[in-house]
Each structure stands twice: as C-alpha cells, then as structure tokens.
Homo-oligomer: A and B are copies of this chain.
C-alpha cells in the first residue's frame, strides 16, 4: 500500500469514526432531552407545592422526583461514557468537558434544592431559579455537543434539536411565570416586559428549529401549534397582560393549556431523535460501503496490474494512476463540500453564542440579571435599528471598557 492509499483509506476511516461519535452525541442529546423534560415537570410541581404551602402536589412531586432521578442516572451514564482519557477522542473536548463539569456540579446541588422545597423553605421564584440554572447548564452541554458535529446532515438535525429543547424550556418558564401572574391577579410593566421576552425568545428558537427540522418533526410540531390551541394561548397571554377580576380562576386553565402544549412537544422531540438515529445509522452504513468499494477498486486495479504481461501492465499503469487520482479528487471534493455546508450550519449557532456571551459580560459588569441583560441588548438593537447579534458583537468588542 503506497502512503497515498494509506491516507485515502485513513480519511474514510476517520469519517466513519466521526459518524460513530456523532451517533453517541445523538444519544447523549436524547438523554439530556429526557432529563430536561422531567426537571421541567418537577419544577412545575415544586412551584405548586410551595405556592400552596404544601397543601397540593406533594405526592405527585415525590413521584416526579423518582422519574427525574432515573433520567439523571441515564444522563450520568452517558457522561461517564465520554472518553476523557484518550487525548482528542472527543471532538471539541475542552469546551464540552468543561460544560459537563458545570452541569454535574449543579445536578449534585439538586438534592439540597429538593430537601429545601420539601421543608417549604424557598419561595416559588427561588426554587424555579435553581431548576432554571440546572436546565440551562444541561442545554449548554447540548449546544457544545452540537457544535462539534462533523457531518452537515446530522449537524442540521442536532441544531434543530438544540433549538427545540431551548424553545421548550422558554415555554416551561412562561408557564410558571403566567401561573404566578394569574395567581397574583395583577402585573406591572416590568413583568409584562419579561413575559413578552419569554414569548419572543421562545419563538426565535422554534423558528430556527423549523428551519433545520425534518418533515416528521415538523408534522408533530404542527400538532402542538394547531390553530385552536394557539388561539386559546394567545387569548390567555393577552388576559395575562391585563388580568381581569377573576384572574385567579384563569390560572388552572393557563397551566393546563401550557402543560398540554409542552407535553405534545415531546412527540416532536421523539420524532427528531428517531430521524437522528436513523440518519446516523444510514450515514455510517454508507461510509462503510464506500470504504469497501474503495478497497475493491484498488485491489482489482492492482491485481490487474500484477497479473497482466509487461505490455498490458504498462498500459494499465496510467489507467491505475488516473483512477487513483480521480478517486482521491472525488473524495477530497466531497469532504470539502461537506465542510463548507457544515460551516453554514454552524453559523446558525454563532449568533446564539455571541448573544449569550454579551449577556454574560453585561451581567458581570453591571451586576444585573440575565433577563435585564437581554432586555438591554434588545432595546439597544431596536433603538439603533440593528440586529441583536450585531449589538452583541459591539458589546464584546467593548469588553475592555466595561
């Protein structure tokens, strides 16, 4: 085997390895999706339990904690399965591992949150904040796992999954926020702004999801967004902005409607995970088949060159050369095209990352909360007629002065 052919097959084998790793990433993301859903349910029940001073949802909360812990074990097993010993075994290793470390640390802290909720110590808002942090750290792991994907088709689906999970989390936060507003029977301007923000962030995420999702997931999504439910949701959002006298009576309706919608979202998630799994399997099978074809062609050509007499071997020489060169060029062009497509898919994550980092910078330098930082960015973008990502870039460029 000449060194050239060694690298030709090494390239194909590296591609197969990257696809197999991507399949594992898909399973990790699916496991995190399951845990996030369980924690969202637990968060909702904890809120009801705290708001009712322990009168309601105690048993349901206890059962839900059991579910959450089961999902947590699955996710921890997936984390343990990440190869942290072989250098370079995991693409994007430094960033992914560091996010996993944060997520694990916050998951460790959940035991204390659960004890405190059982003792009715925190306010519903405090308990919510603890769960929001854990879910945020888990979604950050997903974002960095997605960012390391090396196949454009798989990467598109992973981008869809990430934005869907993130959108669903905003929907979960909106459910809790709305429930609190209806229970209080009144809102102020700041609360109205925050609610609007949750709706806006949610819709941005679902737009990106829709741009990258497959047909099955989009069909399941159409069920979540069916016009009747959508109209009811918008009506309650409007009523929430200016709660009527009997606002408290709307609370359960709001909670039920949101819960139905969020539960229906699980079908979208399941569809995405199914497609992702099938796509990874197909791509791995294809790449393996291509590797075998490559071996077969190379062997046939070399056997022919060896078996023939001197004249025919000489005549074949240039043909062997040409076939090899064609094979080499075909492969490198295909990989190049995939790389370019991948860059384009990744660009869709770039805006999200820039905004996240600008938010973090504003939070640290001005000692404000996450929502306020986001509002500040958005307000500046509106005032200056610029895109949110552009304002975020400017904030980052000014880092030295903040």
Q: Determine, out of A12-20, A250-258, A277-285, the stretch whose residues face the partner at the interface.
A: A12-20
A227 within 8 A of B: no
In whole angstroms, what is the CA distance A12 to B94 when docked? 6
Name the B residues within 8 Å of A96 (CB-CB): 11
Contacting pair B353 A105 (CB below 8 A):
no
From B101, B332, B337, B339, A7 is in contact (CB under 8 Å) with: B101
Contacting pair B7 A100 (CB below 8 A):
yes
Name the B residues within 8 Å of A84 (CB-CB): 6-7, 10, 13-14
Contacting pair A325 B14 (CB below 8 A):
no
Contacting pair B331 A357 (CB below 8 A):
no
A191 within 8 A of B: no
Contacting pair B332 A102 (CB below 8 A):
yes
Contacting pair A332 B14 (CB below 8 A):
no
- Closest chain-B Cβ to A24's Cβ sits at a distance in Å of 12
Copies in the complex: 2
Contacting pair B328 A98 (CB below 8 A):
yes
From B3, B108, B357, A2 is in contact (CB under 8 Å) with: B108
Contacting pair A18 B93 (CB below 8 A):
yes
From B2, B88, B102, A18 is in contact (CB under 8 Å) with: B88
- Closest chain-B Cβ to A36's Cβ sits at a distance in Å of 19
- Closest chain-B Cβ to A393's Cβ sits at a distance in Å of 9
Contacting pair A95 B336 (CB below 8 A):
yes
Contacting pair B2 A87 (CB below 8 A):
no
Contact A11:B93 (CB < 8 A) given known A3-B79, A101-B4, A325-B105: yes
In whole angstroms, what is the CA distance A11 to B144 when docked? 13
Residue of B nearest to A76 (CB): B3
331-372 of chain A: CB within 8 A of chain B: 331-333, 335-337, 339-340, 343, 346, 350, 353-354, 356-357, 360
Contacting pair B88 A17 (CB below 8 A):
yes
In whole angstroms, what is the CA distance A91 to B18 when docked? 10
Name the B residues within 8 Å of A15 (CB-CB): 93-94
Residue of B nearest to A20 (CB): B87
Which of under 10, 10 to 19, 20 to 34, or 35 or more describes the interface residues of A? 35 or more
In whole angstroms, what is the CA distance A346 to B6 when docked? 29
From B87, B108, B328, A17 is in contact (CB under 8 Å) with: B87
Contacting pair B336 A104 (CB below 8 A):
no
Name the B residues within 8 Å of A89 (CB-CB): 87-88
Name the B residues within 8 Å of A357 (CB-CB): 333, 336-337, 340
Contacting pair A94 B14 (CB below 8 A):
yes
Contacting pair B7 A97 (CB below 8 A):
yes
In whole angstroms, what is the CA distance A109 to B140 when docked? 49
Contacting pair B3 A339 (CB below 8 A):
no
Name the B residues within 8 Å of A383 (CB-CB): none
A86 within 8 A of B: yes
Residue of B nearest to A399 (CB): B337
Contacting pair B354 A104 (CB below 8 A):
no
Contact A98:B339 (CB < 8 A) given known A17-B88, A360-B333: no
**Closest 6 A-B residue pairs measured CB to CB?**
A14-B93, A10-B84, A17-B87, A11-B97, A7-B101, A11-B98
Residues on A facing B (Cβ under 8 Å): 2-8, 10-15, 17-18, 21, 76, 79-80, 84, 86-91, 93-102, 104-105, 108-109, 140, 147, 150, 321, 324-325, 328-329, 331-333, 335-337, 339-340, 343, 346, 350, 353-354, 356-357, 360, 396
Supplied contacts A11-B96, A343-B353, 17 more A-B pairs, CB within 8 Å: A2-B104, A3-B76, A4-B104, A5-B101, A7-B79, A7-B98, A12-B94, A17-B88, A18-B88, A95-B332, A101-B328, A140-B332, A147-B339, A336-B357, A339-B353, A340-B354, A343-B350
